[in-house]
Chain A
Amino acid sequence: DTEVTQTPKHLVMGMTNKKSLKCEQHMGHRAMYWYKQKAKKPPELMFVYSYEKLSINESVPSRFSPECPNSSLLNLHLHALQPEDSALYLCASSQDGGGREQFFGPGTRLTVL
């Protein structure tokens, strides 16, 4: 099974709201990733967790806050977002961080009003 699940599928939020995106995998993978994807552009890496520790933060604004409660779960907490943050947010996982394929979830379509 190579499934990564994400909830919710769609999210509309105001600029003052606080919301969270959730990601789950049961493949025993030890690396998990958050990407942001704008229309007709490739995914852009935001964060990498390796063995439940944050290993890469690609200079993402502090209004995005990642959390890895355990090896199967990854959250992205959102607060005071801007309309330009509207995008498809993708979660991915890989067996580890070293040269292994990443498996992506279906994404959460986020709209910030």
Chain B
Amino acid sequence: EDQVTQSPEALRLQEGESSSLNCSYTVSGLRGLFWYRQDPGKGPEFLFTLYSAGEEKEKERLKATLTKKESFLHITAPKPEDSATYLCAVQAGYGQNFVFGPGTRLSVLP
């Protein structure tokens, strides 16, 4: 069975304090790993797609990396507006469905 876990469950950072979020997955035949940001009461906002081990994507203060078993979302010098829940999801095999991890709630304090 495909499984996705994320750690930590919650993370509090001071503004400017860089850190990483982890997404570990166990799937058969990874087709894609996806990172989303979700603000309370809103739909997830797409951030990155990663397809193969060694791949990296960057956007502003965020950088996503992928290995054969996990993905990291690095946040460099975060700002309070980066506070949100960060979700990762995988798509595997011939299925169309995403399997979401439980998310990491990030709070960045000014």
| Interface positions of A (Cβ within 8 A of B) | 2, 4, 6, 31, 41-43, 45, 48, 50, 55-56, 58, 88, 90, 92, 97-107, 109
Contacts and interface: CB of A to CB of B under 8 A. Distances in A.
A56 B41 contact: no
Given A2-B46, A42-B102, A101 B97 contact: no
B97 A56 contact: yes
A85 B32 CA distance: 30
Interface centre among A56, A99, A104 (most CB of B within 10 A): A99
Interface string B46-76: 1001010000000000000000000000000
A55 B96 contact: yes
18 contacts: A41-B102, A42-B87, A42-B89, A42-B100, A42-B101, A42-B103, A43-B44, A43-B87, A43-B98, A58-B97, A92-B43, A99-B32, A100-B49, A101-B46, A103-B46, A105-B43, A107-B42, A107-B43
B79 interface: no
Contacts of B98: 43, 45, 102
Contact size range, B = 20 to 34
Interface string B86-110: 0101010001111011110000000
Contacts of B25: none
A101 B100 contact: no
Given A99-B91, A100-B32, A101-B49, A56 B44 contact: no
Nearest to A88: B41
Nearest to B90: A99
Given A6-B43, A45-B98, 20 more contacts: A2-B46, A41-B102, A42-B101, A42-B102, A43-B87, A43-B100, A48-B96, A58-B97, A88-B41, A92-B43, A99-B31, A100-B32, A101-B46, A102-B34, A104-B36, A104-B46, A106-B43, A107-B42, A107-B43, A109-B41
B45 interface: yes
Q: Nearest 10 A-B pairs (CB), nearest first?
A: A97-B96, A99-B31, A42-B100, A104-B43, A99-B32, A104-B44, A101-B49, A45-B97, A107-B43, A106-B43
